[in-house]
Structure 1
Amino acid sequence: MGGRQVLAARRLLTGALDGEPPEHELVAAARSVVTELGSPERLLELVAELASGEGDPQACARLSYRHVLGFDKLLLIDGGPRQMLRAHVWHPGAGAIGEEDIHNHRSPLASYVVEGRLAMELYEVDDERGGGFAAARYAESLAQRSADWVLKPAGPARLRLTHVGQYAAGSSYALPAHTLHRAWCDTDAPTVTLFLETGAERRRHTDVFTAAGPHPGAVAKVPLTAEEYLGALRDLAERLRTL
């Protein structure tokens, strides 16, 4: 199961997010959880414990990788489909395949900015009124055998920008699953966030929109080895010690 910090984090996740509350209550609870666990002192204790080999590093490594949106995605606590707690390390100017993508998620989410700053834009589909800007729509799912990202064209669309925000260290946000958004590292140095997806029901696919040209039909998801995963956690712990 893990050491003291891992068990404490699991208890907090289970206690705050148990049951099937309405989505607005779920996103509020998730935001409260990442705010509590994301303080640099507490997150350092958890990451350092995981970096020492507590928990299940091999299983967590298989679900940790460089995301198409340009950040390192490190699984910390695997609570099954109900709770997945991750550390995201965003790299400025990463040049990732999907860095311009506007997307939503399979389940509600919350994020706490531990270090650095994120910028975020929110959008809504504006097909009926014909406003906004043109974009290509894709249905994104996971390949059954490889878990690679599969993008199926779903026709043209028009999107309208509804909100622009910046989230500095110490701030948080939470979004329902269907919310269309785009986020990126807004500083010259890496940004670290604590990210939680939660909910008993997960959508089978997400919606991805891009105005930057056609996407490849599939993007490989390359998991970390256990050694790479533990090394990334050690590097993250060192970053947290300087905050």
Structure 2
Amino acid sequence: MSRLLMDKLRAVESKTLSNGGAAALQTLLGDRDILVKLVGAAMDDDQIDKYLRQTHLHDNGFQKTVLWAGSSGVKIVLHIWPVQEQEHVEDNIHNHRWDFASGVLCGGLNFEQYAINPDGASCQALSYRSPGVSETYRIDHLGQVNVAVEFSALLAPGTQYAFSHRTLHRAWGMPGKLSATLVIQHPPAQQWTLVLPRGTQATGSAIELRRPAREQFMENLRQLASLWVDLPKDRCR
């Protein structure tokens, strides 16, 4: 990365820590050059193996790539929901270990926010711990919890939102469209994530991370580039 780009990314990191992710996200999305260069780096043949190691296929249906990580724990993360003919509605309700801000780049998201409610639906409650540098992660049973939808919306491209790490929610892409969001993650505020699966999930054993195949990874980035990012043509073929 160039010195200018690194200076811009450190400025985003500093603003996240001092003013919050929402303010930092506005700065990030207001400077198109940053995202062009970050996505372009992930598509570069000389760097693709590095970015594949920073990518996994999330159980909630999207490809998650860490585009940049600062020394403080702030991260810039790209989520891509590939084109699907049918709506993917198996996403688990969850919170996060970190506060975050997110912006919809293309496609759109179905979004639901939940609250603990004794009159709501009963769900299995699980704890999820980040794998870190490991190739496996673990989910453990906590008990049962009742939740109900507090807010729901269709988030169009250009929508920006920010939430506490405690906020229970779920989101999924639009059928027939590639959908993508850019996320600024704050440093972790807790050690584990609360997950409320749709149905019952086995717990207590190591689960392997799923990595995308190289071509699948590249194709998702190519489609994003064709919809949103003005990259050099030789990287968009």
TM over 0.5: yes
The 5 Å alignment of 1:115-154 reads 115-126=106-117, 130-143=118-131, 146-154=134-142
- Looking at structure 2, the residues matched to 74 and 157 of structure 1 have their Cα atoms a distance apart, in angstroms, of 31
Unaligned 5+ segments in structure 1 are: none
Q: Does 2:160 match 1:172?
A: yes
- Paired residue type of 2:148: R
Aligned residue pairs: how many? 229
Retained in 2: the 8 A contact 1:72–1:88? yes
Retained in 2: the 8 A contact 1:119–1:186? yes
Q: Does 2:193 match 1:206?
A: yes
Retained in 1: the 8 A contact 2:111–2:172? yes
The residue number in structure 2 matching 1:240 is 228
The residue number in structure 1 matching 2:147 is 159
The CA deviation at 1:3 is: 2.3
The residue number in structure 2 matching 1:64 is 55
TM-score of the pair, normalised by structure 2: 0.80
The residue number in structure 2 matching 1:48 is 40
Superposed CA offset, 1:95-138 (max 9, x none) = 99993310010110111001111111111222xxx311111100
The CA deviation at 1:232 is: 5.1
The CA deviation at 1:47 is: 1.7
Distance 1:145-1:71 versus aligned 2 partners, 3 A rule? closer
Q: Does 2:101 match 1:110?
A: yes
The DSSP-based 3-state class of the residue aligned with 1:212 is: coil
Identical residues among aligned pairs (%): 23
2:66 aligned residue (75, 78, 88):
75
- Looking at structure 1, the residues matched to 193 and 85 of structure 2 have their Cα atoms a distance apart, in angstroms, of 23
- Looking at structure 2, the residues matched to 105 and 140 of structure 1 have their Cα atoms a distance apart, in angstroms, of 9
Retained in 2: the 8 A contact 1:74–1:87? yes
Task: Please provide the CA RMSD for this pair.
Answer: 3.3
- Looking at structure 2, the residues matched to 125 and 81 of structure 1 have their Cα atoms a distance apart, in angstroms, of 32
The DSSP-based 3-state class of the residue aligned with 1:82 is: coil
- Looking at structure 1, the residues matched to 29 and 59 of structure 2 have their Cα atoms a distance apart, in angstroms, of 24
- Paired residue type of 1:85: I
The DSSP-based 3-state class of the residue aligned with 2:210 is: coil
The residue number in structure 1 matching 2:234 is none
- Paired residue type of 2:99: P
The CA deviation at 1:92 is: 5.0
Distance 1:65-1:40 versus aligned 2 partners, 3 A rule? farther
- Looking at structure 2, the residues matched to 16 and 182 of structure 1 have their Cα atoms a distance apart, in angstroms, of 27
Distance 1:110-1:57 versus aligned 2 partners, 3 A rule? same
